[in-house]
Chains A and B, each alone.
Chain A
Amino acid sequence: MASSFTLTEPEIAEPQTSTSTRRMTLNMGPQHPSTHGVLRLELELEGEVIRSAKPDIGYLHTGIEKEFEAKTYQQAVTLTDRIDYLAPLSNNLCYSLAVEKLLGLEIPPMAQWTRVMLVELTRLNSHLVWLGTHALDIGAMSMFLYCMREREDILRIFEMYSGQRMMTSYIRIGGLALAPPRGWHHRIKSFIDGFPSKVDEYEDLLTNNRIWIGRTKGVGFISVEDMLDLGVTGPMLRAAGVNWDARKQAPYSSYEKFDFTVPTRTENDVYARYLVRIEEMRQSAKIVKQALEGMPEGAFQADAPGVMLPEREKMKTQMESLIYHFKIVTEGFRVPEGEVYQVIESPRGELGYYVVSDGTAKPYRVHIHGPSFGNLQSIPTLAKGSMISDVIASMGSMDFVLGDTDR
């Protein structure tokens, strides 16, 4: 019997240590509900702790950049809607700005202000879906219903002017597709006046909620250096104290004329990202309100014969208008040679369009730098060493859209 007490041989010791350090590979996705799209994560687990995470993307790759090369510039606007289903207007705007820069087009103030209003409504739309689904993933079911209620109002606003709820293609090269319909501004006003109190409701449900704080505070940390090195942008970076927002630092579409602040936090966790986005919603509502109140009068499209379609009435009386109409519809307009990289602040972060023109009516090359692509690249660093249940919260706080990642 004495020998059994002194037995320290590996025969007994080994199985014990090997069970405690046995690694398990777990496939999360591609159809996991928290991935909001089709993303597969290859997780290597040690008990509940993640030792490595490897994202596998590309399930939604549609070859949209190739398709750009086969469309005329104006036709290609419809493709930009389909990249990020939560921010189609931001993509419209970024692409239009890039092509307008190549063309050297001057956009009338009324169109610029309407564009600002539209992309800020898009930001609200995107953040509402993010908040609803993020809370749903963590277990707060009711948030989803509240957020969808307001999102429905925004989609109705979009539907009112374009007949479409999501893929509106309302922002076109040279301005807007149509003049805003009568009563549209009034509808936006009644929505945006009531919106701040709705944000208060969301905050009542979550901000001081002990379960919410327990699931999000101190979770999902990643250093600022890692984020900049890995290409993370947007609210994630701002929740780590980096005050970078293209609307402020490189204003486009007359953002410099609006009074708003860029919220930042320094905690750098899931909770801070939540607070940043909540404050962004308030600021967006503020911008929409300013745009409504100071909306300039004037044309909704640039004065550029040969690029913009002529007015229907003019076509009946003027020969030139008829010729331009025929030429634009049949062959599009030519864009001078050159290249442009346009960056805007989409709801998810830095959205970039690189457009190369060879002087013909179709883009030679369009590259889309989706913010989700850079953000998602930080998952291996972010998830390493964290608990498996925290990955859901961390991924939710990134707010990625897989269509934007895979393009």
Chain B
Amino acid sequence: MKPPKSDSCLVIPETLKDHPAVRLVEDSTLSAKFDRGEVTFEIAADAIVDVCRRLKHEGGYIRLSDLTAVDRYPEEPRFEVIYHLHSLEHNQRLRLRSRISGAKPAIASVTEVWRSANWYEREVFDLFGIVFHNHPELERIMLPADWEGHPLRKDYPVSGTRV
């Protein structure tokens, strides 16, 4: 999967036109995808909290099922932050994706929208080194506080000893 070119504009596929979430995310969506029965919206990184809040309060996505990241090293923008939303009422799942740069990676925290994001974001911070602004306690969660590096980055070796 290649990151979209900078001139790519908003294209919402025909299959998604009636999706209830489209109306809520339309103005911040960079692209959308319907693949293998799963809906993905790519959201501009600076709009992520607004979009999430709207989806939660107006779209019924009351659960943040999962939050993680993917490292596309050496491509740029390097990191993708992935949000999996879940609406119990409509029995629907939704994936949001925000791309952020590899130099000082940072994005706004969604802990004020869903409290469950607290640990999920700490995990991403710990293992990818992505900073979440406005997070209440951004500390390492899996690794010791004095650990060097972020293991899930692609430039971090799978095995080997440090010299």
Chain A positions near chain B (C-beta within 8 angstroms): 57-58, 61, 63, 65-67, 69-70, 101-102, 228-231, 242, 244, 249-250, 337-341, 343, 350, 352, 354, 356, 358, 364-365, 367, 369, 373-374, 377, 406-407
Q: Which residues of B contact A374 (CB under 8 A)?
A: 116
Chain B positions near chain A (C-beta within 8 angstroms): 1, 35-36, 38, 40, 62-66, 68, 70-71, 82, 84, 88, 91, 93, 95, 114-116, 118-120, 127, 140-144, 151-152, 156, 158-159
* CB contacts between A and B, total, < 8 Å: 89
Distance in angstroms from B70 CB to nearest chain A CB is 5
Q: Which residues of B contact A229 (CB under 8 A)?
A: 62, 114-116
Residue in A66, A102, A337, A340 whose CB lies within 8 Å of B151: A66
Judging by beta carbons under 8 Å apart, are B143 and A61 in contact? yes
Complex CA gap A228/B40 in Å reads 22
Judging by beta carbons under 8 Å apart, are B141 and A57 in contact? yes
Judging by beta carbons under 8 Å apart, are A406 and B142 in contact? yes
Q: Which residues of B contact A352 (CB under 8 A)?
A: 65-66, 84
Q: Which residues of A contact B114 (CB under 8 A)?
A: 229, 231
Question: Which residue of chain B has its CB nearest to the CB of A98?
Answer: B36
Complex CA gap A338/B36 in Å reads 9
When A and B form their complex, which 6 residue pairs have the shortest distance between CB atoms, in order from nearest? A231-B116, A61-B142, A58-B142, A367-B68, A369-B66, A70-B158
Q: Which residues of A contact B95 (CB under 8 A)?
A: 339, 341
A interface, over-half SS: mixed
24 A-B pairs in the complex with CB atoms less than 8 angstroms apart: A58-B141, A58-B142, A61-B142, A65-B152, A70-B158, A228-B63, A229-B115, A231-B64, A231-B114, A231-B116, A339-B1, A339-B35, A339-B40, A340-B36, A340-B38, A350-B65, A352-B84, A354-B66, A354-B82, A356-B70, A367-B68, A367-B82, A373-B119, A406-B142
Distance in angstroms from A374 CB to nearest chain B CB is 6
Judging by beta carbons under 8 Å apart, are B88 and A242 in contact? yes
Residue in A230, A249, A341 whose CB lies within 8 Å of B84: A341
Judging by beta carbons under 8 Å apart, are B36 and A102 in contact? yes
Q: Other CB < 8 Å A-B pairs besides A358-B1, A377-B118, 9 of them?
A: A57-B141, A58-B140, A61-B143, A69-B158, A228-B63, A230-B116, A343-B93, A356-B70, A367-B66
